[in-house]
C-alpha cells in the first residue's frame, strides 16, 4: 500500500498487516482515536515509522467522517475489515504464544486446512525453502521442539500453528512422483486413493438416476479398469471422478467421447493391438467395440496396385469410432464389456 505525505510530496510504502495490527489494537482496547496521540501507534506496532502510520490512520478517519463513501463502499470496506480483524486477531494469538505457550490453546481452537493441488509438480525447495521443517508435528508452535523463524524480507517472526493441516494431492500416473523431493516424502503421510465404483454408485443413486443406467456405468468402469491394469498397470486406472457428474445417458456420451477416449489414446498411444483388446473391434454390421480399420482391403490394393499388399495388414491405419447416438453407445458398451441385463 502506498501513502503520499505532504512532506515534499514523498511517497511511502506502508504495511497492510501493520495497519491491521493498529486497527486491532484500537478495537481491543476501545480507544477513542480522535482524542489519542501518536503514542497509540507506538504502543501497537513499535516506534518504526510511527509518524507515517499515524498519518495514515488519521487520513482514514477523516475520509470516513467526510461522508464521501457510498453505502456500498462502506459495506465492502466493513466486510474486508472484519476479515482483517480475524486474521490480525489470530496472528496476535500466535505472537502471544511465542512468548508464552499457555497464552492460547490451539488444540481446542478451530482447525484450518490448506489444500495444495498437484503438489509434486512444484519445486518444493523453492516453494517451502527452510519453512518445510516447520511442517513437522514436533516443530510447530507449542510443541516439544517448536521453531520460530525470522522471514528474510519482512523480518517478521514465522511459525506453523498445530491447528493447521496441509493436504497435497497428486496423480499416481504422473512420472514426476518418482522425482519428488525426499524432504516432502519425509514430512507427509501418503494415503493412496484408488478408483472406487462404490462411490459412483452411491452418488448417482442419490440423484435418483435410473438403476439400469447406473449399473451400466459401474460395470463399464470396473471392467475397463481391470483391462487397463492388465494391459498397462494399476496406476493408470481411470478415476471415478469422471463419472460423478452423470445425470442422464447424454452425459455418459459426453464423458466417454470427451474424457475417457482421449485418456485411453494417451495411455496406449499408437498401440492398436492393446486398444483392440481394451475396446474391441467395431464393424458396421457387428457393433462389438470401437476400433476399426480406416481402409478396407480393396481400398488398400487400389492405393498400392501391388499384389503383396497383404503383408501390410498389420500396418492398416486404425481409428477409434466416436459414437454420437446415446442408445447406440450404450448397446456397444454392453457388448464390448459383456454387460448383461436390459
Read off the pLDDT of each residue in 186-202 and give the average, rounded to a whole number: 87
Q: Tell me the range of 190-199, 220-229, 273-282 where mean pLDDT is highest.
A: 220-229
Q: Which grid coordinates are listed for 106?
A: 490451539
Q: Taking a C-beta distance cutoff of 8 angstroms, is the pair 23, 85 a contact?
A: yes
More confident residue, 220 or 309: 220
Sequence-ordered alpha helix ranges (H) in the chain: 16-28, 39-45, 50-65, 71-99, 124-127, 182-187, 197-206, 211-231, 249-255, 261-267, 272-279, 297-304, 326-336
Q: Taking a C-beta distance cutoff of 8 angstroms, is the pair 232, 218 a contact?
A: no
Tell me the pLDDT tens digit for each residue of 125-134.
Answer: 777 777 788 8
Read off the pLDDT of each residue in 228-241 and give the average, rounded to a whole number: 91
According to the model, what pLDDT value does residue 2 have? 44
pLDDT averaged over every residue in the chain: 78
Reported as a pLDDT band with limits 50, 70 and 90, residue 78 is very low
According to the model, what pLDDT value does residue 133 have? 84
According to the model, what pLDDT value does residue 64 have? 59
Q: Tell me the range of 3-7, 54-58, 213-217 where mean pLDDT is highest.
A: 213-217
More confident residue, 8 or 261: 261
Tell me the CA distances in angstroms from 294 to 88, 226, 329, one per residue in order. 66, 28, 20
More confident residue, 117 or 10: 117
Structure letter (DSSP) for residue 323: P
Helices and strands per DSSP (H, E), number in the chain: 13, 10
Q: Which grid coordinates are listed for 320?
A: 477409434
Q: Tell me the range of 24-33, 42-51, 152-161, 275-284 where mean pLDDT is highest.
A: 275-284
According to the model, what pLDDT value does residue 159 have? 85
CA end-to-end span of the chain: 66
Which of 55-64, 221-230, 280-289 is predicted with the least confidence, judged by mean pLDDT? Answer: 55-64
Q: Angle at the Cα of 156 (from 151 to 161), degrees rounded to 5?
A: 85
Read off the pLDDT of each residue in 223-242 and give the average, rounded to a whole number: 92
Q: Taking a C-beta distance cutoff of 8 angstroms, is the pair 103, 150 a contact?
A: no
Q: Tell me the range of 34-38, 173-177, 184-188, 305-309 where mean pLDDT is highest.
A: 184-188
CA distance 50 to 28: 19
Read off the pLDDT of each residue in 315-332 and give the average, rounded to a whole number: 87
CA distance 330 to 332: 5
CA dihedral for 56, 61, 65, 71, sign (positive or negative): positive
CA distance 319 to 275: 10
Amino acid at each position: 500500500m502506498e501513502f503520499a505525505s505532504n512532506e515534499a510530496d514523498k511517497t511511502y510504502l506502508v504495511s497492510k498487516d501493520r495497519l491491521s495490527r493498529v486497527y486491532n489494537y484500537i478495537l481491543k482496547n476501545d480507544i477513542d482515536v480522535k482524542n489519542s496521540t501518536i503514542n497509540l501507534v507506538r504502543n501497537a506496532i513499535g516506534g518504526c515509522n510511527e509518524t507515517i502510520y499515524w498519518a495514515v490512520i488519521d487520513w482514514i478517519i477523516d475520509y470516513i467522517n467526510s461522508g464521501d463513501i457510498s453505502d456500498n463502499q462502506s459495506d465492502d470496506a466493513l466486510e474486508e475489515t472484519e476479515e482483517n480483524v480475524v486474521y490480525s486477531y489470530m496472528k496476535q494469538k500466535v505472537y502471544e504464544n511465542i512468548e508464552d505457550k499457555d497464552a492460547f490453546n490451539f488444540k481446542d481452537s478451530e482447525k484450518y486446512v490448506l489444500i495444495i493441488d498437484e503438489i509434486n509438480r512444484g519445486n518444493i525447495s523453492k516453494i517451502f525453502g527452510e519453512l518445510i521443517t516447520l511442517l513437522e508435528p514436533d516443530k510447530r508452535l507449542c510443541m516439544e521442539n517448536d521453531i520460530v523463524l525470522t522471514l528474510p524480507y519482512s523480518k517478521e517472526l514465522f511459525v506453523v500453528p498445530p491447528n493447521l493441516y496441509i493436504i497435497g494431492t497428486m496423480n499416481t500416473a504422473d512420472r514426476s512422483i518418482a522425482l519428488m523431493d525426499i524432504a516432502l516424502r519425509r514430512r507427509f503421510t501418503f494415503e493412496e486413493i484408488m478408483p472406487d465404483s462404490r462411490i459412483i454408485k452411491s452418488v448417482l443413486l442419490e440423484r435418483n438416476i435410473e438403476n439400469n443406467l447406473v449399473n451400466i456405468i459401474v460395470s463399464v468402469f470396473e471392467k475397463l479398469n481391470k483391462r487397463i491394469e492388465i494391459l498397462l498397470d494399476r496406476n493408470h486406472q481411470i478415476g471415478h471422478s469422471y463419472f460423478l457428474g452423470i445425470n442422464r445417458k447424454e452425459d455418459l456420451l459426453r464423458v466417454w467421447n470427451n474424457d475417457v477416449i482421449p485418456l485411453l489414446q494417451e495411455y496406449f498411444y499408437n498401440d492398436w493391438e492393446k486398444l483392440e483388446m481394451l475396446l474391441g473391434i467395431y464393424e458396421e454390421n457387428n457393433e462389438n467395440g470401437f476400433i476399426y480399420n480406416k481402409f478396407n482391403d480393396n481400398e488398400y490394393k487400389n492405393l498400392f496396385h501391388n499384389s503383396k499388399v497383404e503383408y501390410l495388414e498389420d500396418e492398416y491405419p486404425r481409428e477409434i469410432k466416436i459414437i454420437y447416438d446415446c442408445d447406440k453407445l450404450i448397446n456397444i458398451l454392453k457388448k464390448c464389456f459383456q454387460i448383461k441385463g436390459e
